[in-house]
Amino acid sequence: MKVLFMTCGIGMGHVSRDIALAKRLEEKNVDVNFASYGPGYEMLSKQGKYKIFKLPDIQLYGGNGELDIKYTAKKSINIPFIFIKNIYHEFKIIKELKPDIVIGDSHYSAPITCRILKIPCILITNELTLNFAELYPDRKIIEYAENGLKRFIESVSNQCDAIIIPDIENSIEIPPKLRGITTFTGPFLKRNPSQIEDKNELRKKLRFHENDKIVLVTVGGSKFGKKLLNLIIDSAKWIDCNKIIIVTGPQISFDFIQDSDKIVKKEFLEDIMEWMKLSDVVISLAGHNTTMELASLGIPNILVPIDNHSEQIKNALNMKKYGISAVKNINELNPQEFADDINNILHDDDDLKQKAEIVKKEFSKYDGKENAAKIILKYAKQNDA
């Protein structure tokens, strides 16, 4: 059986979760292939494990920790052309590869291509509604654009055989027309949290002291995280910890970070869940995959969503309700106040531990990869028949 993932390549979160799911499918003797672009394509290329096809690039624009929706919309005037170009490329890839099923992770041209070619298609997404018009209440053109996109996403998603939400039940709003084909499977984690060594064992393995206070800072694969990294560096002298582990990701060079005994610099971590588990607090942007890892591990955290990024803002607010996440606006933070926020979490041990156990227990009810694999195999086998 042959599966083709067509994966959103903006950042690394989509590719990261799809690789986790791909490994489960491989355990079931499935031949897994990928198509992507941007940082996602680069991540897959570095792995060198899968057959990968290149898709046309799609970009978000902004800087200094902020997504510029208006400029992105302006630069995306050729989106209809790119969409048609994507379908053309997808058509060629599917014809060459002849997969039994296509999995589109937040890649909304895939369902149309598959419908034309009569190939089963499953959509993976953590976002079926948009809310960026709320960020520009005085700009009617943004509201009109959002309404059009909502109708488009709903219409395209309805072309799929099934929709998979890699989150727990009722975590996002599902449009009424899509509820019959949508399943909340739970997150696709690289590791089962219960099978990762305990905090002290991890610290020993990775050469940290058992009693160290450790802060982990990660901005995933996003170029928008540099403002958060600069803020952490400026806050470092006030943070009551022994080590600050800074993970810049491949889109940001760590050359601007000065060497010190307190700061540990990393570009990429192969198993970031281990590093999360050994930490006392994690500071991060609010990509969906990262929030799922934090919730599943029950790690106290501060989430700083990319400014104007409606999906990240919703991810962060969803996490806040579990009681182990603080949500901060990057534009309202100064170094000393941010250090105080971090210190409050570092010293609020007992209350957070209790809440963390409740969150871990809720997420442990789900085996997202297995649940998703069963859905994929079901529709792939129907195509074989």
Amino acid at 73: A
Nearest 10 degrees: CA dihedral of 221, 342, 281, 304?
-30
d(CA 237, CA 124): 42
d(CA 249, CA 126): 22
Q: Is the pLDDT at 257 greater than 70, yes or no? A: yes
pLDDT tens readout for residues 13-58: 999 999 999 999 999 999 999 999 998 999 999 988 999 999 998 7
Give the residue among 17, 8, 53, 11 at the shortest CA–CA distance from 33: 53
Q: 382 pLDDT band (50/70/90 cuts)? A: confident
**What number of other Cβ atoms are within 10 A of residue 240's Cβ?**
12
Residues in the chain: 385
Mean pLDDT, all residues of the chain: 89
Q: Residue 213, SS3?
A: coil
Structure tokens that stand for 27 in this block:
């355990």
Q: Which residue has the higher pLDDT, 65 or 226?
A: 226
CA distances from 363 to 124, 171, 198, 280, 289 (A): 19, 12, 18, 20, 14
CB 50 within 8 A of CB 84: no
pLDDT tens readout for residues 298-317: 999 999 998 878 889 889 99
Q: 105 pLDDT band (50/70/90 cuts)? A: very high
Q: Residue 302, SS3?
A: strand
DSSP 111-156: HHHHHHHT--EEEE-S-SS--GGGG-TT-HHHHHHHHHHHHHHHHH
pLDDT value of residue 76: 52
DSSP 237-295: GG---SEEEEE--TTS-GGGSPP-SSEEEES--TTHHHHHHH-SEEEE---HHHHHHHH
pTM of the predicted protein model: 0.90
Query: Domains, the chain, ranges and CATH?
Result: 2-187+366-384 (3.40.50.2000), 193-363 (3.40.50.2000)
Q: State percent of the chain over pLDDT 90.
A: 70
CA distances from 64 to 143, 224, 306 (A): 25, 6, 9
> CA angle, 250 as apex, 308 and 280 as ends, to 5°?
75
How many CA atoms, within 13 angstroms, populate the side-chain half-sphere of residue 239? 30
**What number of other Cβ atoms are within 10 A of residue 171's Cβ?**
21
